[in-house]
């Protein structure tokens, strides 16, 4: 395994991070524990969860993922072996069953303390804001369109000061953001500098061969402001395994169970995926390995968040860290990207 340091911290994390959002829905508690044990044996020490998980989010399953991690921690008494990242859910209809008050000081306090209880731990290594409170183009929305009905008022300073109280109390070691845009990221960085607050260490955004929107402006922000990318959906909901094109997807695969998650299933995405699959076959590797190795090698990526529903998938995903793509291969990926740019933003 390869390791990196979370920016602006001394926290060492594996460059492959174990994603967990299927636990409590597609995976049982026992399977989640099995995945943690296997991942640790392969050198992974970084686990990502959220108070929202599992996904799809429902009131009946909310928090189960973190509870499974917590029961593993209690059983194995191995808190010092893992770096745990979690998130407070942003506001919106999708999370009304959790709370409707966004990132107010009381909301952050409530969310953090409930998550600590679920995880059965005294601290969270990296605590992230799951998505912005303001209306902006996230989750597959291509362009920003201002809304006169957006009630949000600039509260970056208040949010950071609220998080700082828990850093000072030892309940949070590092602070991150997620699904954020360039403007929001720079506003956080500005408040950190102006008020000597704990820096934003990472941003967790979607990034894959089908979605390289991060490179448009956030990549420069990432490198110049020392804010690492935690890349999620590097396999584009499994599309970049090739299993949906080749007809080998299992009945319990994500898009068969939840076909409404069509973000990576457009006609243009399919055309690009076919070309990437042909490239992988030319190289004699799986499309999974090609897609993950591409993300692993990006200079702004701190860790690549992979998820799996079984150990065979997990092994292949983790093994991608051992594949280094040549410049010629990266150029061929860029050629596809140039002809079909960001088909799944």
Q: What is the pLDDT of residues 247-288, one digit of tens each?
A: 888 887 888 778 877 889 899 999 999 999 999 999 999 999
- CB-CB contact of 201 with 228 (8 Å): yes
CB-CB neighbours of 114 under 10 Å? 16
Please give the pLDDT value at position 260: 76
Name the percent of the chain lying above pLDDT 70: 100
Q: Measured between alpha carbons, how far is 218 from 200 in angstroms, rounded to an integer?
A: 14
Six-digit token string for 184: 């929001």
Q: What is the pLDDT of residues 199-256, one digit of tens each?
A: 999 999 999 999 999 999 999 999 999 999 999 999 999 999 999 988 888 887 888 7
Looking at the chain, list the stretches that DSSP marks H as alpha helix, in order from N- to C-terminal side.
Answer: 29-41, 64-76, 105-119, 156-168, 182-195, 218-225, 243-246, 254-257, 267-283, 287-296, 311-319, 327-339
Spatial CA neighbour of 32 closest among 81, 2, 75, 79: 75
Distance from chain centroid for Cα 291:
16
Number of H helices, E strands in the chain: 12, 10
Predicted TM-score of the model (pTM): 0.96
Q: What domains can be seen in the chain, in order of their start residue?
A: 3-238+300-323 (3.20.20.100)
User: Which residues are part of the catalytic machinery?
Assistant: 53
Six-digit token string for 290: 């090609």
pLDDT band at 150 (very low <50, low <70, confident <90, very high): confident
Q: Work out the mean pLDDT of the chain and round it to a whole number.
A: 96
| Residue spans of beta strands (DSSP E) within the chain | 3-5, 12-14, 16-19, 46-48, 83-88, 124-129, 172-178, 200-206, 228-232, 301-306
Residue scoring higher pLDDT (245 or 42):
42
Distances (CA, A) of 290 to 211, 265, 294: 15, 19, 6
Please give the pLDDT value at position 126: 99
Q: Measured between alpha carbons, how far is 231 from 200 in angstroms, rounded to an integer?
A: 16
Q: Measured between alpha carbons, how far is 54 from 60 in angstroms, rounded to an integer?
A: 10
CB-CB neighbours of 61 under 10 Å? 16
Please give the pLDDT value at position 246: 86
Q: What is the pLDDT of residues 90-105, one digit of tens each?
A: 999 999 999 999 999 9
Please give the pLDDT value at position 206: 98
């Amino acid at each position: 395994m390869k390791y990196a340091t979370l920016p602006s911290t001394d926290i060492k994390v594996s460059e492959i991070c174990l994603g967990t959002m299927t636990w409590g829905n597609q995976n049982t508690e026992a399977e989640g524990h099995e995945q943690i044990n296997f991942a640790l044996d392969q050198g992974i020490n970084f686990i990502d969860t959220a108070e929202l998980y599992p996904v799809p989010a429902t009131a009946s399953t909310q928090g189960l993922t973190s509870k499974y991690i917590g029961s593993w921690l209690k059983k194995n008494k191995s808190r010092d072996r893992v770096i745990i990242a979690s998130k407070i859910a942003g506001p919106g209809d999708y999370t009304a069953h959790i709370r409707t008050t966004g990132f107010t000081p009381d909301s952050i306090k409530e969310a953090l303390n409930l998550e600590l209880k679920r995880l059965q731990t005294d601290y969270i290594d990296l605590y992230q804001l799951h998505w912005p409170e303001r209306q902006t183009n996230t989750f597959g929305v291509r362009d920003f369109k201002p809304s006169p009905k957006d009630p949000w008022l600039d509260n970056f300073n208040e949010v950071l000061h609220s998080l700082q109280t828990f850093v000072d109390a030892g309940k949070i070691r590092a602070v991150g953001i997620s699904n954020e845009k360039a403007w929001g990221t720079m506003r956080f960085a500005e408040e950190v500098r102006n008020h000597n607050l704990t820096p934003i260490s990472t941003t967790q955004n979607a990034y894959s061969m089908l979605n390289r929107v991060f490179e448009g402006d956030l990549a420069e922000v990432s490198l110049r402001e020392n804010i690492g990318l935690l890349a999620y959906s590097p396999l584009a909901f499994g599309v970049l395994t090739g299993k949906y094109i080749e007809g080998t997807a299992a009945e319990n695969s994500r898009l068969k169970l939840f076909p409404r998650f069509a973000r990576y299933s457009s006609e243009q995405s399919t055309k690009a995926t076919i070309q990437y699959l042909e490239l992988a076959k030319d190289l004699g590797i799986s499309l999974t390995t090609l897609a993950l190795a591409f993300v692993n090698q990006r200079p702004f990526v701190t860790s690549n968040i992979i998820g799996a529903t079984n150990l065979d998938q997990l092994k292949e995903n983790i093994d991608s860290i051992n594949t280094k793509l040549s410049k010629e291969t990266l150029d061929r990926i860029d050629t596809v990207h140039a002809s079909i740019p960001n088909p799944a933003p």
